Amino acid sequence: MKKKKTDFESRFWSGRSKLSPVSLLEVFFQFHDLATAKDRLSLIMQYAVRGKVRIREDPSVIFHFHQSLRSFILAGYGLRKKSGKWLVSTLSGQGSPLGLGSLSEEEYRDPVLVFRQAFQEYRPAQFLDFLAEVVYFSLGTFNHVPEGNIVGPYLHLCKMLDAALLIVERRAQEGKG
């Protein structure tokens, strides 16, 4: 059976379309390393709630990051049904708190669990709305700040970034082994 490839709207930022969810994650991490992605997302959040100050980073960089995160969220939604594919039975040396990132031990063992939990709590459209809202408010100077819950989607997105990198690393190890 041929693997189904979905358009995650990645053509604009990556030059590729019709990727599998895991392939899109690999492309995402070719453009953004984990630390930079999390720092940039945190910076966007900080400036979004400041109000009268706009982010200093080049708007084209923020827009590119926004587009790639949109695709990341859509790919994550496609991943949520994969079960046991990147499961690890033990924590093997990387069980230190730094190795886990923002993940619990259970999430580290099964990173797809992070995506399942995130999309049980929020629909993909809610993540995309959150992303558009914080990017919009970070790029301008406004007298008001984003309305609604922006912390929940932000925390889930940070965990999804950690889990996605684990999936990409484990897939690469599968290919070598």
Question: 34-50 vs 124-138: helix axis angle to the nearest 10?
Answer: 70
Q: Are 120 and 77 in contact (CB under 8 A)?
A: no
Query: Structure pTM?
Result: 0.87
- 171 and 86 in contact (C-beta within 8 Å)? yes
96 or 65, which is more confident? 65
- Could you give the CA distance from residue 111 to residue 52 in angstroms, rounded to a whole number? 38
Looking at 80-150, list the stretches that DSSP marks H as alpha helix, in order from N- to C-terminal side: 97-100, 105-109, 112-121, 124-138
Q: What share of the chain is helix, strand, coil (3-state, %, to 5)?
A: 65, 0, 35
Model confidence at 8, pLDDT cuts 50, 70, 90, reads confident
pLDDT in tens, 131-146: 999 999 999 888 787 8
Selected residue with higher pLDDT from 4 and 48: 48
Residue with tokens 């970034």: 161
Confidence grade of residue 20 (pLDDT, cut at 50, 70, 90): confident
